[in-house]
Structure 1
Amino acid sequence: MSSDFYTTFILPYSGIIIKICRAYTNTQEDFEDYYQEVCLQIWRSHESFQEKSEWSTWVYRISLNVCLTLLKKKKKHHFVSNSLPDEAIEDSRSFVDESLNQLYQAIRQLSEVDRAVIMLYLEEKSYQEIAEIIGTNPNNIGVRIKRIKERLKKLLDGKVN
């Protein structure tokens, strides 16, 4: 991968990649592996980008697909709990803002698809864009987001484990 490709097509979207990878990993090592694999897959598949959507949508889709694929591979080899202890998030990766850390911790307790939906919603993507990225009907996105918000509120209030 050339540095020009990275600078032009990946670096401006690194925030997207970081957020998605962070939502699907438990350790700094996994995060770095996922990030690197996402970048590699973007580079490998960039020639098949057909410009039917925004580049950012393409990056989201690749990031989600890579993270979900790696997560499934990992689950086949190890038991992975949806409930992560505080120690699972290494200090080098944690944000200074404790409330943001708590939000990510709650998001990690959601199903894989719900994590994707809420991350896209937090990025202020339209229901249509979210549906396009995760491959579903835009009509069910609103209902799904409402349920996810309720679940997150319960998780953050400590009412659900």
Structure 2
Amino acid sequence: MSTDQEKEFVEQLEANQNIVHKICRLYTDNQDAHNDLFQEVTIQLWKAYPKFRGDSKFSTWMYRVALNTAITLYRKSKRRVQTQRYETVEFKIEDTTEDDETMEQLTLLYGAVKQLNDIEKALVFLYLEDKNYREIAETLGISEVNARVKMNRIKTKLTNIINP
């Protein structure tokens, strides 16, 4: 990868880092697991970046890579996830925190979402990121109609989880 590509990758990652942090919060239960998953997603993005053709927005591509990595590692969670360290590349990326009330609401929402299956979690995440159904369908590899139907069912399911 050229120096220009490296610089472009770091800029894109820094600009879109909240995508990865939100996915990490969705698929992990503690800060150490969050950090490990963030690192693994970053590594997978780094490895895949030379193949990024720009057919879609960087953020859409990033969602797909991050969600696929998170789902793969989540499914293997019964085993310890082995992560790799890249000492030669440093990323100055920090998780931003919200105020107490927002964090309380997010905790409640994340708790409910964690009770959903992998695809449902991904769909909710993309929906909360204000992605339209076409973008959701493209990212998850399902039809737009299927994305709409699933989202309506998930809304009902979440309502029942939060307000039993």
Please classify the TM superposition score into its range, dividing by the shorter chain length.
Answer: 0.7 to 0.9
User: Given that residues 9 and 49 in structure 2 are in contact (C-alpha distance below 8 angstroms), is that contact kept between their aligned partners in structure 1?
Assistant: no
TM superposition shift of 1:131 = 0.8
Cα shift readout 1:41-71 (whole Å, capped 9, x = no counterpart): 1111101011111100010001001101111
Instruction: Indicate the residue corresponding to 2:65 in structure 1.
Output: 62
Instruction: Indicate the residue corresponding to 1:131 in structure 2.
Output: 137
Instruction: Indicate the residue corresponding to 2:83 in structure 1.
Output: none
1:47 equivalent in alignment to 2:50: yes
User: Given that residues 17 and 38 in structure 1 are in contact (C-alpha distance below 8 angstroms), is that contact kept between their aligned partners in structure 2?
Assistant: yes
User: Given that residues 61 and 133 in structure 1 are in contact (C-alpha distance below 8 angstroms), is that contact kept between their aligned partners in structure 2?
Assistant: yes
Q: Which runs of 5+ in 1 are unaligned?
A: 79-92
Percent of residue pairs identical: 37
Once residues 160 and 31 of structure 2 are traced to their aligned partners in structure 1, the CA distance between those partners, rounded to angstroms, is 27
Once residues 52 and 120 of structure 1 are traced to their aligned partners in structure 2, the CA distance between those partners, rounded to angstroms, is 19
Instruction: Indicate the residue corresponding to 1:24 in structure 2.
Output: 27
User: Given that residues 24 and 71 in structure 1 are in contact (C-alpha distance below 8 angstroms), is that contact kept between their aligned partners in structure 2?
Assistant: yes
Task: Rate the CA distance shift 1:94–1:153 in 2: closer, same or farther, 3 A.
Answer: farther
TM-score with structure 2 length normalisation? 0.80
Q: Which runs of 5+ in 2 are unaligned?
A: 81-95
Instruction: Indicate the residue corresponding to 2:92 in structure 1.
Output: none
TM-score with structure 1 length normalisation? 0.82
User: Given that residues 42 and 59 in structure 1 are in contact (C-alpha distance below 8 angstroms), is that contact kept between their aligned partners in structure 2?
Assistant: yes
* Residue number among 4, 7, 12 corresponding to 1:4 in the alignment: 7
1:156 equivalent in alignment to 2:159: no
Instruction: Indicate the residue corresponding to 2:105 in structure 1.
Output: 99
SS of the residue corresponding to residue 54 of structure 2 reads coil
Once residues 94 and 56 of structure 1 are traced to their aligned partners in structure 2, the CA distance between those partners, rounded to angstroms, is 21
Count matched residues: 144
1:114 equivalent in alignment to 2:115: no
TM superposition shift of 1:94 = 8.0
Once residues 6 and 108 of structure 1 are traced to their aligned partners in structure 2, the CA distance between those partners, rounded to angstroms, is 30
Instruction: Indicate the residue corresponding to 1:143 in structure 2.
Output: 149
- Residue type of the alignment partner of 2:162: L
* Residue number among 37, 53, 74 corresponding to 2:77 in the alignment: 74
